[in-house]
Amino acid sequence: MGFELTILGSSSATPIYNRHPTSQLLVIRDHHFLIDCGEGTLTQLLNYRIKYHKITHIFISHLHGDHYLGLVGLISTFHLQGRTIDLHIYGQQELMDIIEIQLRISNMHLRYNLIFHSVRHYAPEVVFEDEEIMVRSVVLNHRVPCTGFIFKEKPRPRKLRIDKLQEHNIPFTYFNKLRKGEDFRTYNGDVIPNKELTEEPSPSRAYAYCSDTIFDIGVADEVRGVDLLYHEATFLHEQEDRAAATFHSTCIQAAEIAKKGEVSKLIIGHFSARYRDLQPLLLEAKSVFENTELALEGRKFKVD
């Protein structure tokens, strides 16, 4: 089953050096999640030939323009192109006020249902859940209320051993029970242990998105053990004072979160416009946490 992140934008504040404001697309199985929607997100979706009509849930971390100014345009495009399926948006309540003003002034009555979910910024909570996936918010420390998000698969069902099922003539109607871990009882009362008929499932996968935030080592506990972590790294560490003053993080600080949180891979992004060459930022992060990569536009990160 698929688990893939595509970087649509990695710049902070403004588009520059062919870098766009923050946006990412996360596909988990059949779920298409858009994470933040900075200016130019729709253009990026088109550039990478992404079937953006499959997006059903959009998560906005905070209300600085480089993280949401592309949202109303995307909502409008969905309408103009005849969308009929529901669209769920998650963010601070004020975001819905912005959307409603835009729609009212343009006299646009959407052809589809736009369902808004208010996310509290002061305490973590489960913001989305179905049978396969759970999304939980992470409280971040920025100049305005800001949340990150952790996308995690629920435990997968056990894997059936087809050869053993055939050997014991297990009826098809019992397969789902075996996937859930139940033993099989024959007509004469004998019990075949589940472990003889199934195998351990693949581990659940998780992605943590930590948007704009001042360095907070406590975040490491929130993201502990995830397969993939995105953490903003706006500045080189020589700009640590500047990072603190603007409530952002440095590359080394992002790497320290990844190291303490024992994550598998770190992606850094939200790069300051002062850096045309991003290699120094990458090298600095790798000096603390080796398995680090840059959030470059168009890059895809798969979790097996």
Catalytically active residues are 66
Place of tokens 């603007």: 246
Place of tokens 């990569």: 293
DSSP 208-263: EEE-S----TTHHHHTTT-SEEEEE--B-GGGHHHHHHTT--BHHHHHHHHHHTT-
Which of 224, 88, 41, 78 is CA-nearest to residue 150? 224
DSSP 88-105: EEEE-HHHHHHHHHHHHH
Q: Is 296 helix (H, G, I), strand (E, B) or coil?
A: coil
- The amino acid present at 46, given as its one-letter code, is L
- Taking residue 173's Cβ as centre, other Cβ atoms within 10 Å add up to 7
Interatomic CA distance for residues 293 and 265, integer angstroms: 8
**Are the C-beta atoms of residues 98 and 88 closer than 8 Å to each other?**
no
Report residue 215 as tokens: 């360095």
Q: Is 266 helix (H, G, I), strand (E, B) or coil?
A: strand
Q: Is 40 helix (H, G, I), strand (E, B) or coil?
A: coil
Interatomic CA distance for residues 265 and 3, integer angstroms: 14
DSSP class of residue 141 equals -
Interatomic CA distance for residues 116 and 31, integer angstroms: 18
